[in-house]
Amino acid sequence: MEVSLTPQEIHLAAMHGLTRRIDKHKGLRGDRIQKERSTWDNEIEGACAELAWCKARGIYWAGVADIRSKDNREVEIRWTKHEHGGLIVYPHDKDESIFVLAKGFAPDFRFVGWLTGARGKELGEKTAFGYLVPEDKLNSM
C-alpha cells in the first residue's frame, strides 16, 4: 500500500515531530534505545508515516495531542529509513498490539507488512534494543 502526502500534510506532521523531539530534550519523553542515534529526521519522518497511514485508512491522526495512544487507535506504525530494514518490536511492547512497517520518505510512504507484538518477539532477531523482524517475515498488507 502506497500513500503520498500533500505539502500541507507534511507541514502538520513535521510540527508534531518537532514537538516530540523538543519534549525529549526537555526530559518529558524518553528516547528509545536504538542501533543508531535518533535524530530530528526520525521524529519528522515517523510522524509523516503515521499521518500517511491514517490518511490511507480515512481516520483522524491525533499526533502529539494523544502521544501515549496507539498511532491511530488501531495499530502502531513503525517507520524505518533503511530500504532493507525491518520492523522493531521492543520488549515492553504489548503482545496483542499490531505493528505496521512503513518505508519511504515524505511525501511518499509504503506500508510493507504487519504483525502482532507476540509474533514479532517470536520471529525477530534479538538485539540490544529489541526484536528486529525482517520484512519477509511480516504478514502482507
- Work out the angle at residue 99's Cα, subtended by the Cα atoms of residues 43 and 74, and round it to the nearest 5 degrees: 95
The full DSSP string for 44-79 is HHHHHHHHHHHHHHT----GGGGTTS-SSSS-EEEE
For residue 31, what is its C-alpha cell?
528516547
pTM: 0.85
User: Which stretch of DSSP H or E encloses residue 72?
Assistant: none
Number of domains in the chain: 1
Residue partners of 141: CB distance under 8 A and separation at least 6: 1, 100, 111, 112, 113, 114
Whether 1 contacts 110, CB under 8 Å: yes
- Residue 42 banded pLDDT, cuts 50, 70, 90: confident
Q: Name the band, by pLDDT with cuts 50, 70 and 90, for residue 71.
A: very low
- Residue 10 belongs to what domain range? 2-137
Count of residues making up the chain: 141
Q: In the prediction, which pLDDT does 22 show?
A: 84
Answer for the pair 74, 116: CB distance below 8 angstroms, yes or no: no
Q: How confident is the model at residue 112 (pLDDT cuts 50, 70, 90)?
A: very high
Angle at CA of residue 58, ends 117 and 7, nearest 5°:
100
**Cell numbers given for 128:** 540490544
